[in-house]
Structure formats: C-alpha cells, structure tokens
Amino acid sequence: MHDKESAALPSGVSFVMPVLNEHAYLEHAVASVLAQQLDGPSELVLALGPSTDGTTELARGLAAGDDRIRLVDNPAAHIPVGLNAAIRASRYSTIIRVDAHSELAPGYAARALQTLERTGAANVGGVMRADGRTPFQRAVARLYNSPVGLGGGAYHGGGQEGEAESAYLGVMRREVLDEVGLFDESIRRGEDWELNLRIRQAGHLVWFDPKLSVTYWPRESWWRLARQFRATGAWRGELVRRFGRRNSLRYFAPPVLVLLFAAALVIAALQAAGLLRGLAALLSSLIYVPIAAYAVLVLAVALAPGGGRIRQRLWTLLVLPTMHLSWGIGFVAGVMRGAGDTVDASRLGDRNTPLP
C-alpha cells in the first residue's frame, strides 16, 4: 500500500494474530482482545495456518459470533507471512500485533495508543509476563521472566520506560509499516527484531513502556520447548550472519556455553584415552571450571526463593539448561550454515514431526 493510501485509512485499531494449532489458547486470547475498551472502531484479523487440532473450526465459530473478527488464510503457516496477510487485510491506521499464546491485560490497547501519541514513536511494546498452569510450564515461565533465563531483555523483566531496540508484539503506526515494507517473509523467527531494526534505520522511534503487560503461556512440554528454542537460536544465528554487530552481545552467551560443553567433552575423551598427561592434562582441566560454575548457577536458580514447589524446582534443573543449550546449538548451526527452512516445529503439534 502506498503512503497516500495509508494516510487515507480511517482512525481505529486492527489487531492482527497469526494462528496455528492453538485450540487450547485461542478463545482466551481472542476474548482478551475483544475486551479492550477503545473510543474508536476496532477489528481482529486472524491469519489461519493449516491447523490439525480444531483451531480453524474454533476460529470460524468465534468469527460467526462477532463481526469484529475477520479471517484470512495463511497456508504457508509462517508467522511473518500470516502477519503480513492480516495487515494487508486490515482497515485501520494502528496495528496491534497479538499472539494466540498470550492474553492482553485490561486497558492494554488504550494505554498503548496514549503512549504512541505521547512519545511520537512508530512502535510501542511492553512486558511479556510469562505464566504457567502446570509445574513444568510455571518453571519455564519463571525463567522467561528472569534475566538468567532469557538474557535480560527489557520486555522479559521490565525496566525503565524509554527508547528500545525492539518491542514485544508491538503497537505500530500503519503508515510506518507501509513505509519500511512490513515483515520480512524470509525470516521465520526474530522477524520482529528485524522489522524494528528497519524502523529505527528509517529514523523512527521504537519505545518500551513497562506499564503495558501481556500474559504469555510457554510451551507445555520439554520436547516442544527444546524445538522452539532450537529454531529461535537458528534464526538468531541467521540474523547475525545478515546483520553482524547490530545484534546484542547477550545473544552470544548460549553458543559460548555450547562450545564450552563441546570442548569439555573432547578433553574428557582425550584424558580418558591417556592422550593428555601431566601439565597438559592439568591445564586442559581448567575447561571444567566454567562448566561447574554453570551447574552451580542452575542449582542456585532452582533453589532460590520463588521457585515454587518441589516438582517445579526439579523441572527448573532441566528447563534452564534446555533453554540455553537448545538455543545455543541452534545459534551455532545458524551462524555456520544459515537457518535455511528451519521453522518452529513446536507449533506443529506432533512430537513425531522431525526437526528441519
């Protein structure tokens, strides 16, 4: 859409949501959107991927019951493709990205519009408040909300309001999206970071408002969590290939951990075979120091106050290294050979679906 057409869009809010195999979460996510109190008109555009769990039928039923809900197809199932399809089908001048695995806090949209107006920003985001319903999911959520788990991004743990590198989900001016070219459909994960990079390069402001809050429900099983983080890491590695030093240094901590573990395994094998002796064996054993320190960190996080009951704490012992190592393995592969066609297979809903 050209700038002249964008400027002619009526004032209002278009919520856009890509959806794939979200039967357990979609109704609550949609309800949190439709409950937003706004002065002007609004709509919710769902981009429906080829779900296999009844999500599409549920979405059609919800749309039949509320004329604010509109449906578009996303046969490719990729998130940026679905987002772009929903944005192109939308009718209003402000775009609010929402996720089927999340729920907007009451007043979220109204506060975001006020922040857009007050700051003049092109994109505004807030805090992702992860939550869980099971001991496993609560363990994951606690680590999502911790700097130890996801590296201290502002939208994971809060912080001071101000200019930001990226925005969680995002409340965006449609005219700016049209100017920079919507989401890059060649990027399967990290598409929001890359879009915000282009927004900032075009001279616009990306803003973090900690008073904006979204509840996010993490993956429900260890297998899905590992697949999700491996795919996310692979695409961060791809983004490092494409954009180099524009990526924050915090993204390099998990791959360093992976390389330390790999080096420790090699050294342990050489020592066991008797190929490292004397001073060489002693010096090479220093590789175990950071590994031991990491093990102590994982244990400390699991035992720290707020860690929940025993089952949640036990899950933490597995979840934290799973997040770091899966992400790091994906990152190393992404840097070395690119992400290729890697997708978040955890969204496919089938444990037997092979990793790309």
| Helix, strand and coil percent figures for the chain, each rounded to 5 | 55, 15, 30
Q: Residue 42: its pLDDT value, please? A: 97
Q: Is residue 225 part of a domain?
A: no
Provide the domain count of the chain. Answer: 2
In this prediction, residues 124-134 reach a mean pLDDT of 94
Q: Is residue 214 part of a domain?
A: yes
Distance of CA 286 to the CA centre of its chain: 35
Q: Is residue 231 part of a domain?
A: no
In this structure, the answer to whether residues 194 and 315 fall within a common structural domain is no
Range(s) of the domain holding residue 335:
240-348
Q: Is residue 97 part of a domain?
A: yes
In this structure, the answer to whether residues 170 and 298 fall within a common structural domain is no
Q: Residue 2: its pLDDT value, please? A: 42
pLDDT in tens, 184-234: 999 999 999 999 999 999 999 999 999 999 999 999 999 999 999 999 999
Q: Residue 265: its pLDDT value, please? A: 96
pLDDT in tens, 253-312: 999 999 999 999 999 999 999 998 888 889 999 999 999 999 999 999 999 999 999 999
pLDDT in tens, 209-223: 999 999 999 999 999
Q: Is residue 233 part of a domain?
A: no
In this prediction, residues 33-60 reach a mean pLDDT of 96
Looking at per-residue confidence, does 4 or 276 come out higher? 276
How far apart are the C-alpha atoms of 356 and 353, rounded to whole Å? 9
Q: Is residue 232 part of a domain?
A: no
Q: What are the structure tokens assigned to 138, written together?
A: 């609560």
Handedness of CA 66, 69, 73, 76 (dihedral sign): negative
Say what the pTM is.
Answer: 0.88
Q: Is residue 234 part of a domain?
A: no
> Collapsing DSSP states into helix, strand and coil, what is residue 28?
helix
Q: Does the structure show a pLDDT above 60 at 148?
A: yes
**β-pair partners for 17:** 46
In this structure, the answer to whether residues 280 and 184 fall within a common structural domain is no
